[in-house]
Structure 1
Amino acid sequence: MEAEIMALAGTAGTAFVTLLATDAWNTVRDGVVDVWRRARPERAADISAELDSTREELLRARTEGDQETEADLRGEWRGRVRRLLVEHPEAAEELRDLLARWEPAAPQTPAVTQHATASDRARVYQAGRDIHLGQQ
């Protein structure tokens, strides 16, 4: 169960922070607060304020090109979600449902993995898209 919690917390923390910088941020904030309200009602108002603060910090970091801050914010939310799920594993299903609903709003970044080995006089050319070579 711990591996499942870690995976879900990682996905959720990353999604929360990523989506806070989009037009869907109000929906994201409301959905996250609802999860907390059901599991830990006394923390719901704090979570709402923390999400607003995270959004402000995230937008500032993106304006300044500060990728470390963005990574830190993702890590903070992964930790918050993990702690919530450890205390309230019943919140996992609701969290999965939220993530599934938000998936179309998430920016799609294609994943490209390339591996190559060259030996002797061999050449390797790799590209994530078009490649045009002119050999002489």
Structure 2
Amino acid sequence: MGAEDLVQSAGTTVVALMATDAWQTTRAGIVALWRRVRPVQADEIELALGETREEILAARRAGDEDGVHDLERDWWRRLARLLAADPEAARELEALLAEARASLPPEDRPALSAVHLQARASGNARVYQAGRDQYNGRTGRGD
């Protein structure tokens, strides 16, 4: 799995695990990983994980899928910065999340969604790609 794919999958999985029985173990592993790679930020990350968990539970209760995706994107960015600081941490992160998912009954495991987009264009060609919604700016809606 490439670094970008790992970041997206991990961010989505971290947020999804927040609403499961595996969360406490996962949380401890993520904080330990941050303490090793970026120790100055570990306390901040521990606090952010707790805040995000409250937000994700509220968003799910309200059926706010956009809110869930915003939280996922936030963790994509955080994890991307962590892995940029220590690319070797990717294996540790993958193992942590795989273990957390495996500890849950199959029906409770968060779905892994990986999106890989690639395009080539030449001349006057245009390429529009989206991993989710795409807005064209004219109607304000994805068309």
TM band (smaller chain): 0.7 to 0.9
Residue number in structure 2 paired with 1:70: 68
Which among 109, 112, 133 is matched to residue 107 of structure 1?
Answer: 109
Residue number in structure 1 paired with 2:87: 89
Pair 50,109 (structure 1): closer, same or farther in 2 beyond 3 Å = closer
**Could you tell me which amino acid in structure 1 is paired with residue 14 of structure 2?**
F
Post-superposition CA distance 1:57-79 (Å, at most 9, x none): 00111111111110100111011
**Could you tell me which amino acid in structure 2 is paired with residue 96 of structure 1?**
E
Post-superposition CA distance 1:9-51 (Å, at most 9, x none): 0111011000001111111111110110100011111101000
Q: Return the alpha-carbon distance in structure 2 between the equivalents of residues 110 and 73 of structure 1.
A: 16
Pair 39,23 (structure 1): closer, same or farther in 2 beyond 3 Å = same
Q: 1:103 offset after TM fit, Å?
A: 2.2
Q: Does 1:55 align with 2:53?
A: yes
Q: Return the alpha-carbon distance in structure 1 between the equivalents of residues 98 and 56 of structure 2.
A: 23
Calculate percent identity across the aligned residue pairs: 44
Pair 107,92 (structure 1): closer, same or farther in 2 beyond 3 Å = same
Computing the radius of gyration from Cα coordinates, the structure with the larger value is 1
- List alignment gaps of at least 5 residues for structure 2: 114-143
Q: Return the alpha-carbon distance in structure 2 between the equivalents of residues 102 and 4 of structure 1.
A: 20
Query: 2:26·2:97 contact (CA, 8 Å) conserved in 1?
Result: no
Q: Return the alpha-carbon distance in structure 1 between the equivalents of residues 2 and 111 of structure 2.
A: 23
- List alignment gaps of at least 5 residues for structure 1: 112-136
The structure with the largest helix share of the pair is 1
Using structure 1 for the length normalisation, give the TM-score: 0.74
Residue number in structure 2 paired with 1:98: 96
SS state at 1:79 partner: helix
Pair 110,28 (structure 1): closer, same or farther in 2 beyond 3 Å = closer
Using structure 2 for the length normalisation, give the TM-score: 0.71
Pair 65,76 (structure 1): closer, same or farther in 2 beyond 3 Å = same
Q: Return the alpha-carbon distance in structure 2 between the equivalents of residues 110 and 74 of structure 1.
A: 12
Superposed, which structure 2 residues align to 1:1-136 within 5 Å?
4-104=2-102, 105=104, 107=109, 109=111
Pair 32,96 (structure 1): closer, same or farther in 2 beyond 3 Å = same
